[in-house]
Amino acid sequence: IHGLWPDKEGTLLQYCKPKPTFQWIKDQMLDDLDKNWIQLKYTQSYGRDKQPLWKYEYLKHGSCCQKVINQNTYFSLALRLKDRFDLLRTLQIHRIVPGSSYTFKEIFDAIKTVTQTDPDVKCKKEAPELYEIGICLN
């Protein structure tokens, strides 16, 4: 998971007011996020203790849906969506695996089988590799 980003009619929302207070994540939610929304820039112990990525993502993006859902629901929703659209498994089913080359269309079509909508597939310009897959939901 990179993030869960609310938008309004195609406009990405960020740092919405009022600025929410980040509540430290504990218990099962902490374990679930640690396993599924990995804080790659930090050691596991630092990430679990200080929670820098999750705090950043919630204050930047979760703040824009705080009137509809609370912090716990924001993270729970991200985890449920990850499981619902298991993109790594989907790519494996379509025989798309790391270390080989595929066309944009092959990746696009594989992801679309589970999203039922056009995914936002991004590749790195510097190197021919898959960088990000975005899914728009409403």
pLDDT digit string, tens, across residues 109-131:
999 999 999 999 998 888 778 88
State yes or no: is 61 an active-site residue.
yes
Range of 119's domain? Answer: 87-135
Residue 73 and residue 94 share a domain: no
pTM of the model: 0.87
DSSP-based three-state secondary structure for 34: helix
**Distance from C-alpha of 136 to C-alpha of 87, rounded to nearest angstrom:** 14
Residue 69 and residue 10 share a domain: yes
pLDDT digit string, tens, across residues 26-78:
999 999 999 999 999 999 999 999 999 999 999 999 999 999 999 999 999 99
Residue 64 and residue 10 share a domain: yes
Helical packing angle, 71-84 and 52-60, nearest 10°: 100
Residue 94 and residue 75 share a domain: no
Question: 52: domain CATH number?
Answer: 3.90.730.10
Catalytic residue among 9, 57, 94, 132: 57
Catalytic residue among 61, 106, 129, 132: 61
State both tokens at 101. 């080359």
Residue 72 and residue 8 share a domain: yes
Q: How many domains does the chain have?
A: 2
State yes or no: is 94 an active-site residue.
no
